[in-house]
Amino acid sequence: MRFDVLTLFPEMFPGYLSQSLLNLAIERELVDVQIHNIRDWAKGKHKNVDDRPFGGGPGMVLSPEPVVECVEAVQQMDSPPGRVVMLTPGGRQFGQRVVEEYSHEERLLLLCGRYEGFDQRVVDILQPDELSIGDFVLNGGEVAAMVVIDAVVRLVPGVLGDEQSNKQDSFSSENRLLEFAQYTRPREYRGHAVPEVLLSGNHPEIAEWRKQNSLERTRQRRSDLLTSEEDKSGNSTD
Ligand code: 6GU
131 alpha carbon – ligand 1 mean position (Å):
8
Q: Active-site residue among 105, 130, 169, 216?
A: 169
Q: In this structure, are residues 119 and 64 in contact, taking their beta carbons and an 8 Å threshold?
A: yes
Find, among 70, 62, 76, the residue nearest to 41 by Cα. Answer: 70
Phi, psi of 41 (to 5 degrees): -100, 5
The answer to whether residue 11 is catalytic is: no
89 alpha carbon – ligand 1 mean position (Å):
4
Q: Active-site residue among 89, 107, 129, 176?
A: 89
115 alpha carbon – ligand 1 mean position (Å):
12
Domains of the chain: 2-153 (3.40.1280.10), 176-225 (1.10.1270.20)
Q: End-to-end alpha-carbon separation of the chain, Å? A: 45
Q: Is the CB of 132 under 6 A from ligand 1?
A: yes
Q: Is the CB of 133 under 6 A from ligand 1?
A: yes
Q: Is the CB of 147 under 6 A from ligand 1?
A: no
Select from 5, 129, 137 the residue to mutate for testing ligand 1; criterion: most ligand atoms less than 8 Å from CB: 137
User: Which 3 state secondary structure label does DSSP give 90?
Assistant: strand
174 alpha carbon – ligand 1 mean position (Å):
28
Q: In this structure, are residues 50 and 37 in contact, taking their beta carbons and an 8 Å threshold?
A: no
Q: State residue 218's pLDDT score.
A: 97
Q: Is the CB of 88 under 6 A from ligand 1?
A: yes
Q: Is the CB of 87 under 6 A from ligand 1?
A: yes
173 alpha carbon – ligand 1 mean position (Å):
25
| One-letter identity of residue 192 | H
Q: State residue 238's pLDDT score.
A: 46
Per-residue pLDDT of the chain (238 residues; tens, 9 = 90+): 999 999 999 999 999 999 989 999 999 999 999 999 999 999 999 999 999 999 999 999 999 999 999 999 999 999 999 999 999 999 999 999 999 999 999 999 999 998 789 999 999 999 999 999 999 999 999 999 999 999 999 999 999 987 667 887 889 888 889 999 999 999 999 999 999 999 999 999 999 999 999 999 999 999 999 988 887 665 544 4
Q: State residue 236's pLDDT score.
A: 46
Find, among 53, 67, 65, 64, the residue nearest to 6 by Cα. Answer: 67
Q: In this structure, are residues 217 and 181 in contact, taking their beta carbons and an 8 Å threshold?
A: yes
Phi, psi of 170 (to 5 degrees): -60, 150
- With vertex at residue 169, the alpha carbon angle to CA 22 and CA 194, rounded to the nearest 5 degrees, is 105
The answer to whether residue 116 is catalytic is: yes
Q: State residue 41's pLDDT score.
A: 98
The answer to whether residue 154 is catalytic is: yes
Cα–Cα distance measured from residue 114 to residue 7, given in angstroms and rounded to the nearest whole number: 9
Q: State residue 115's pLDDT score.
A: 78
Q: Is the CB of 140 under 6 A from ligand 1?
A: yes
Cα–Cα distance measured from residue 209 to residue 216, given in angstroms and rounded to the nearest whole number: 10
Cα-based torsion angle of the residue sequence 72, 73, 75, 79 in order, rounded to the nearest 10 degrees? 140
Q: State residue 164's pLDDT score.
A: 62
Q: How many Cβ atoms are within 10 Å of 85's Cβ, its own excluded?
A: 25
Q: State residue 234's pLDDT score.
A: 59
